Amino acid sequence: MYGTKIGGTIFDRDEHRHTAADLLQYSNPDGLRVLLHATVGRILFRQTGAARPVAHGVVFHDAAGVRHRAYLNDGAKNEIVVCAGAVGSPQLLMLSGVGPRDHLESLGIEVVVDQPMVGQSMSDNPMNAIFVPSPTPVEVSLIQVVGITRFGSFIEGASGSNFASHYSQITRESGQIFTINDMNDLPAASSSMRGGFILEKIMGPLSTGHLDLKNKNPDDNPSVTFNYFKEPEDLQRCVKGIETIEKVIQSKAFSRFRFQYISTEELLRMALNFPTNLLPKHDNASKSVEQFCKDTVMTIWHYHGGCQVGQVVDKDYKVVGVDALRVVDGSTFNFSPGTNPQATVMMLGRLSPSTNKHQNAIEAFLVVI
């Protein structure tokens, strides 16, 4: 909804952190066994005596690399539930023989079901940020207040008292890893530089890509292409987002939090010097907002797609073409919220038919990477 919202938190009033694992305390321990450091590499299918392949077990290896197998007990309602994420779930399906025939056969993987949409329609919400040095102390805040625009870009702020440590925090949040070696471009260069980031990210990007296996090793990352800004509308939403940030920076209300002699163009130039990605930077990027968006794009880990509803799974999240197998995670999303999708993913798992409290007779393997 258009306007400003305040984000939630996974910390309670006593500053204790809570996660989805807290739900385990409400489960029946007699029917639950959790295996740590168990990496699933393949789903096993039974293809004899059934109209179509039936998932009936998994192959996994432990921390020492020893391989194991686990099988479902007999029962019409028993099934395997995959929730390995937008990268892990399509990867696991393809490693198990469910995916595009040509791609699987090129890697020597036996095809169980020719499903060309596995690994397709991969999306990620692109993010771009501007750091604004502040002459006055600023409150420590990490993406709590969100401005929701009418054009599909979310404007968020993150601030702190120490530039180096805080930029390290924000880039860790967005998946970037780097070392600051040179701060000479900043005014009064100092490791205690005060300031904050104002960032924009695209809600529900139209640009999509694909995921391909590199090999048959489940421990190796697949190759993922998100095609950021491939669709012109996504790029224009980024441009409008950056222009909105510039208006905020130039506003009277913001004046005490910025050095007046640093122009917005100079702030863009400074942002280009940050190691946000490995893309080559263009000389005109501080003057062209379009080029700035392309040169400084970052991820904020909101990957989705690859096993979408209506393409790979049906409306009950059952994998099309096989039995006893569901996917319940962000890979099934056609659209990801502009803010953190954690609550959406948790409620998807809570409400999915396979985990519904009225169907507690179901035995399921929960496959998580």
Q: Distance (Å, rounded) from C-alpha 145 to C-alpha 158?
A: 9
Q: Among 108, 115, 46, which Cα is nearest to 323's? A: 46
CB atoms within 10 A of CB 213: 23
The kind and range of the H/E element at 289 are helix 289-295
CA angle in degrees (0–180, nearest 5) for 358-360-364: 130
Q: Among 166, 235, 146, 241, which Cα is nearest to 200's? A: 241
Handedness of CA 168, 235, 144, 287 (dihedral sign): positive
- The amino acid at residue 339 is T
Q: Distance (Å, rounded) from C-alpha 122 to C-alpha 261?
A: 42
Q: Distance (Å, rounded) from C-alpha 191 to C-alpha 338?
A: 32
Say which of 166, 210, 302, 304 is annotated catalytic. Answer: 302
302 is catalytic: yes
Q: Distance (Å, rounded) from C-alpha 130 to C-alpha 147?
A: 16
Residues 291/284, Cβ–Cβ less than 8 Å: yes
Residues annotated as catalytic (active site), given as ranges: 302
